[in-house]
Structures are given as C-alpha cells and as structure tokens.
Amino acid sequence: MKALFKTALAAFYPKTCAACGELIGEKEWLCPFCREMIERCDPAKRCNRCGLPKKDCVCKSRLFRFDGCVAPFINEGTARNAMARFKFRGCRGSSRYFAGQMALCVRSVYREIRFDAVCFVPMDPRKEYLRGQNPARLLATELAGLLRLPVDRDALVCTRYTKCAQHDLGFKERQNNVKGLYRCPKEVDGKVFLLVDDIKTSGYTLDACAAELIAAGAEAVFCVTALITYPKKKEKKVQ
C-alpha cells in the first residue's frame, strides 16, 4: 500500500533524495535526514597536503607530486550513496551540489593560489562511452564555471584501457594499475592546475596525473575531489 502511494506520488512529484531515494521537495537535493547525516570533512583537523585528518597524514611516508588535496566529504554513508547514484545515473543536480561544495573548499584552502586552469582525471575512453559520462569531467566543468576558470580538457589523456576500477584493487595493485596510464600530451609550461576527481582513495591516481603535468612543465598541481576515503585500520599497516 505504501509502495503504491509512493508510485502515485512520484508521478506528480518525482524529485527524490540524491542519497536515499526518499521523495523530497523540488528545490532540495537531499532529504532532511541525509542533509543532517552527510559526512563532512573537518577542515580544522585536515592536512591540506594529503587531504587526510592530521592524525592519519601520510605525507611523511609518501611523496606526492601534487601540492595539496582537499575534499568536502568523507567517502562514507550518505556521501558515498549520493556519489554512487551520481556516478551510475548521472544527475545534474548532484554534480552541481558536489561542485558547489568543492568550490567552497577551493576558495578557503587555496585562496592564495592563482590557478591557470581546471583539469580532471581522464577516463578510459571505452569506459566513458559505455557509461555515457566521466563524473570527474562533469564535476570539473561545473566547478570551473563556479570559479570562473577555463577547463583544460586535453591536459591529461588516458593511454590504455583499464581492466578494472581502482576501488576494486588493493594498495599495491592500485599503484601498478596507474603506472603509465595517464599522459599530458602537450606543453603546459609554468601553469598552475586545479586537478579534479570524484573520489580520492589511495591518492595514486591523482599523484600519477600530477606527475605527468609536472613532467610536461606545470608549475604546480593542487587537487580537489568531492569525496575522500579515510584510512581504515587494516589499510594503515600497508602504507
């Protein structure tokens, strides 16, 4: 009966919460519960170099080629559900919301930085064709609009087809999977980039992209992602 009522209601009022699918008002993005629950990163406790909480900072053990990394949300619960829905269904409202929150992070953490362009982690073209979109590209385009910066669409290219998604792999495999995967096909002398991806997990993908941009002459690369994965105890030992 409840399901029937919902279906009938959805016909007139089809907007649903981006995280849980609950019906919501026309101008909302999340239902009140998810809005309350969404897992935000605490800027006061964050290492702005690796993006992790200071107590989990990995900057001493790993040398990242990017100069900074920030994200508005933790890759858990509500934020994770909203991202999964965005990635697999592609929803303009979600990319707008995430990009808006990313813009706030960029404006506060990178306020001293003068960016020349926004670029994004490219997707294996076959995968992008099958999925019909690259979430990183959507976020970068939306974010660049908010920050009034140009998007450099061909700053990075994907050099081969990938066997599986990064998130299905272990730490060591992730490092190997991205080896030689990205390339900067042009000279980008002296440019400062804002590199966008949907989720930062190990940081190997962003690092590989930053390394390519720097090798092609970029002066600096700063990263922003919508979500960041905080380390679990098991993963801490691997580092």
- Smaller CB distance to Zn ion: residue 165 or 238? 238
3-state secondary structure of 12: helix
49 binds Zn ion (CB under 5 A): yes
50 binds Zn ion (CB under 5 A): yes
* Distance in angstroms (rounded) separating the CA atoms of residues 197 and 73: 13
Least separation in angstroms between residue 98's CB and Zn ion is: 15
Least separation in angstroms between residue 155's CB and Zn ion is: 25
6, 15, 22, 231: residue in contact with Zn ion (rule CB under 5 A)? 22
Least separation in angstroms between residue 226's CB and Zn ion is: 17
82 binds Zn ion (CB under 5 A): no
Closest CA to 73 of 40, 97, 48: 40
The interface region with Zn ion, picked from 47-55, 87-95, 187-195, 221-229 by CB under 5 A, is 47-55
6, 15, 16, 20: residue in contact with Zn ion (rule CB under 5 A)? 20
- Smaller CB distance to Zn ion: residue 68 or 135? 68
The interface region with Zn ion, picked from 3-11, 24-32, 87-95, 193-201 by CB under 5 A, is 24-32
211 binds Zn ion (CB under 5 A): no
Q: Which residues contact 224 (CB under 8 A, 6 or more apart)?
A: 69, 70, 71, 102, 105, 106, 110, 143, 194, 195, 196
Q: 97 to 136, contacts with Zn ion by CB under 5 A?
A: none
* Distance in angstroms (rounded) separating the CA atoms of residues 167 and 190: 32
Residue count (the chain): 239
- Smaller CB distance to Zn ion: residue 50 or 218? 50
19, 74, 119, 181: residue in contact with Zn ion (rule CB under 5 A)? 19
84 binds Zn ion (CB under 5 A): no
- Smaller CB distance to Zn ion: residue 19 or 178? 19
Is the Cβ–Cβ distance between 162 and 127 less than 8 Å?
Answer: yes
Closest CA to 140 of 172, 174, 115: 115
17 binds Zn ion (CB under 5 A): yes
* Distance in angstroms (rounded) separating the CA atoms of residues 113 and 224: 13
Burial annotation 27-42 (CB, 10 A radius, 16+ → b, else e):
ebbbbeebeeebeebe
34 binds Zn ion (CB under 5 A): yes
Reported in sequence order, the residue ranges of the chain that DSSP labels E, i.e. its strands, are 68-70, 73-74, 117-120, 157-158, 182-183, 192-200, 220-228
Per rule CB under 5 A, count of chain residues that contact Zn ion: 11
Binding residues for Zn ion, rule: CB under 5 A, are 17, 19-20, 22, 31, 34, 47, 49-50, 57, 59
